């Protein structure tokens, strides 16, 4: 295959004193940090980045539609941004996963943390699910995915398909049209859904034009920590499943034996099923989504846990006070809520939400029982989350004895200096009531 080169002759010049995030290890350059852009380029092209004095800063993909004007790919002057360069990026990401985690189902590429900004690739057994959130990486996507397939084939792994879940609203901020569908199958090869986003935009605006979609099953069976799940990659959240809690779920499995467990915001029943497999006497999972409860119930059947692990549709924020009023209490309670804030400006309100949900959860835990709580919001920092949980415990007059503080699984690596890659906080406590 011809080695395509992606660099243009566009040059981004930073304002004097700007680019502080970039210089401290980050990957983004915002629109208000740029003095000028010279040379010829199109949105999505690879451009050179220079400081105000002409000092070379690296190569990145540019998009003048987005406030994140440039996303960095490389900081070395000699690197050519071509298919060979992308293959090295993919190979490094793949080798890292093989060293740190079970790769039967895991995140193969984690955007900026793998120096491929805006691209997520999750592997579910013999299926890849892709989420492309930046215009620049969208144009590099086919080369990246081809390289990843070839690396896996060298290890004897044969895929049956690649499904794209680029239906997140954030794509619109990049001037891109949301898209969902098969883009490659073993039977048909690359599907004609275009990789040129301008073409995709044109076709999306014409409702008479339909992307041809093969009759492939959009479900895949995976096993994680000994628990079997049926993942719906078409309709499930994100790419179909939350892989980032893999190692945290195992800690719950270890802790659950003989306990009465409540799993809040259960989604597909992941923590609940790990508790059940770990030998819990009884487990109740709560979720507001009827679809999630149905999926969780089916997953309990798959694992022969239906007698001890059950699920109920409920708004957790309303249900916890009701359970308290009914005199219920639990040996182990898990809180895994969705992100209460996705922006810095909404953080103050999110703190109130996290404080209240943790307060409601803690008071349902028996003296000497165990309490696990999470935040998946990047803007809810580790320090702020710890402070909020402590305030929740103080408000119901209990002490928390910390057992573990954990983060996201190793296939979701955190790049120091790239703060956006650190988002998941997970804590396990013993609840101690004053005598």
Residue 35 host element (H or E): strand 34-38
Alpha helices in 256-381 (DSSP H): 270-277, 290-302, 316-325, 347-362
CA gap 320, 304 in Å, rounded? 27
Q: How confident is the model at residue 349 (pLDDT cuts 50, 70, 90)?
A: confident
Specify whether 272 is located in the same domain as 182. Answer: no
Per-residue pLDDT at 341: 62
Specify whether 16 is located in the same domain as 114. Answer: no
Note whether 401 and 390 are within 8 A (CB).
no
Specify whether 188 is located in the same domain as 238. Answer: no
Per-residue pLDDT at 343: 60
Per-residue pLDDT at 359: 97
Q: In what order do the strands lie in the sheet with 46-50?
A: 28-30, 68-74, 56-62, 46-50, 7-14, 34-38
The percentage of residues in the chain with a pLDDT greater than 70, rounded to a whole number, is: 93
Per-residue pLDDT at 116: 96
CA gap 67, 31 in Å, rounded? 5
Q: What string of DSSP letters covers 179-222?
A: EEEEEEETTTEE-SS-S-HHHHHHHHT-TT----------EEEE
Specify whether 389 is located in the same domain as 293. Answer: yes
Per-residue pLDDT at 417: 75
Tell me which of 74, 96, 126 is where a domain ends. Answer: 74
| Cα–Cα–Cα angle for 422, 43, 20, rounded to 5 degrees | 40
User: Whose CA is closest to 389, among 344, 414, 426, 348?
Assistant: 426
Summarize the confidence of residues 219-233 as an average pLDDT: 95
Per residue in 141-160, pLDDT (tens digit) is: 999 999 999 999 999 999 99
Whether the per-residue pLDDT at 289 is higher than 90: the answer is: yes
Q: What is the pTM of this model?
A: 0.91
Per residue in 389-409, pLDDT (tens digit) is: 999 999 999 999 999 999 999
- Whichever domain contains 22, its CATH number is 2.30.130.10
CA gap 337, 351 in Å, rounded? 13
Specify whether 109 is located in the same domain as 60. Answer: no
Tell me which of 35, 50, 74 is where a domain ends. Answer: 74
Per-residue pLDDT at 345: 67
Specify whether 290 is located in the same domain as 415. Answer: yes
Alpha helices in 128-194 (DSSP H): 135-154
Summarize the confidence of residues 238-248 as an average pLDDT: 94
Per residue in 169-200, pLDDT (tens digit) is: 888 889 888 889 999 999 989 986 544 444 44
Summarize the confidence of residues 220-233 as an average pLDDT: 95
Specify whether 180 is located in the same domain as 318. Answer: no
φ, ψ of residue 277 to 5 degrees: the values are: -65, -30
Per-residue pLDDT at 194: 47
The percentage of residues in the chain with a pLDDT greater than 90, rounded to a whole number, is: 78
The whole domain housing 161 covers 83-216
Per residue in 56-87, pLDDT (tens digit) is: 999 999 999 999 999 999 999 877 899 999 99
Strands 127-132 and 161-166, how do they pair?
A: parallel
Of residues 298 and 210, more confidently modeled: 298
Tell me which of 216, 239, 273 is where a domain ends. Answer: 216
Whether the per-residue pLDDT at 422 is higher than 70: the answer is: yes
Per-residue pLDDT at 198: 43
Per-residue pLDDT at 110: 96
Q: Which residue has 């984690």 as its token pair? A: 110
Per-residue pLDDT at 342: 62
Per-residue pLDDT at 208: 52
Report the number of distinct structural domains present in the chain: 3
Percent composition of the chain: helix, strand, coil (DSSP 3-state, to 5): 35, 30, 35
- Whichever domain contains 98, its CATH number is 3.30.750.80
Q: Is residue 26 part of a domain?
A: yes
Note whether 271 and 249 are within 8 A (CB).
yes
CA atoms lying within 13 Å on the CB side of residue 425: 18
Specify whether 46 is located in the same domain as 105. Answer: no
Residue 208 burial (CB count, 10 A):
5
Specify whether 198 is located in the same domain as 342. Answer: no
Q: Is residue 1 part of a domain?
A: no
Whether the per-residue pLDDT at 369 is higher than 50: the answer is: yes
Per residue in 17-46, pLDDT (tens digit) is: 999 889 988 899 999 999 999 999 999 999
DSSP 344: G
CA gap 393, 374 in Å, rounded? 15
Per-residue pLDDT at 117: 94
Per-residue pLDDT at 133: 92
Per-residue pLDDT at 165: 94
Per-residue pLDDT at 380: 87
Per-residue pLDDT at 1: 60
Average pLDDT, the chain: 91
């Amino acid at each position: 295959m011809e080695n395509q080169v992606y660099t243009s002759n566009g040059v981004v010049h930073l304002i004097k004193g700007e680019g502080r995030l970039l210089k401290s290890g980050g990957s983004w350059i915002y629109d208000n940090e740029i003095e000028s852009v010279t040379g010829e380029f199109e949105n999505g092209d690879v451009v050179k980045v220079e400081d105000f004095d002409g000092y070379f800063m690296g190569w990145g993909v540019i998009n003048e539609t987005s406030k994140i004007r440039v996303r960095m790919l490389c900081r070395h002057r000699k690197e050519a941004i071509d298919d060979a360069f992308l293959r090295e990026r993919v190979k490094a990401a793949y080798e890292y996963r093989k060293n740190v985690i079970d790769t039967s189902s895991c995140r193969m590429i984690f955007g900026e943390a793998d120096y491929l900004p805006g691209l997520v690739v999750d592997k579910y057994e013999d299926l890849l699910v892709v989420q492309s959130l930046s215009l620049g990486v969208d144009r590099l996507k086919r080369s990246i995915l081809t390289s990843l397939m070839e690396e896996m084939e060298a290890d004897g792994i044969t895929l049956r398909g690649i499904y794209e879940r680029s239906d997140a609203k954030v794509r619109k901020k990049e001037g891109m049209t949301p898209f969902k569908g098969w883009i490659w199958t073993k039977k048909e090869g690359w599907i004609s859904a275009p990789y040129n986003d301008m073409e995709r935009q044109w076709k999306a605006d014409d409702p008479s034009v339909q992307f041809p979609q093969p009759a492939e099953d959009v479900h895949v069976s995976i096993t994680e920590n000994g628990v079997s799940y049926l993942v719906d990659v078409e309709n499930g959240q994100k790419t179909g499943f939350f892989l980032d809690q893999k190692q945290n779920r195992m800690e719950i499995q270890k802790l659950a034996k003989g306990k009465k467990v409540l799993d809040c915001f259960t989604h597909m029943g992941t923590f609940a099923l790990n508790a059940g497999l770990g030998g819990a006497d009884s487990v109740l999972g709560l979720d507001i989504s009827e679809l999630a409860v149905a999926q969780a119930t089916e997953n309990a059947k798959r694992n022969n846990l239906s007698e001890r692990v059950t699920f109920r549709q409920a708004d957790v924020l309303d249900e916890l006070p009701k359970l308290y009023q009914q005199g219920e209490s639990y040996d182990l309670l898990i809180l895994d809520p969705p992100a209460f804030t996705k922006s810095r400006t909404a953080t103050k309100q999110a703190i109130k939400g996290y404080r209240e949900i943790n307060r409601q959860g803690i008071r349902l835990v028996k003296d000497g029982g165990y309490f696990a709580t999470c935040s998946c919001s990047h803007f809810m920092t580790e320090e702020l989350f710890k402070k909020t949980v402590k305030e929740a415990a103080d408000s119901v007059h209990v002490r928390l004895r910390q057992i573990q503080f954990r983060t996201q699984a190793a296939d979701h690596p955190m790049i120091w200096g790239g703060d956006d890659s650190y988002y998941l906080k997970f804590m396990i406590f013993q609840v101690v009531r004053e005598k």
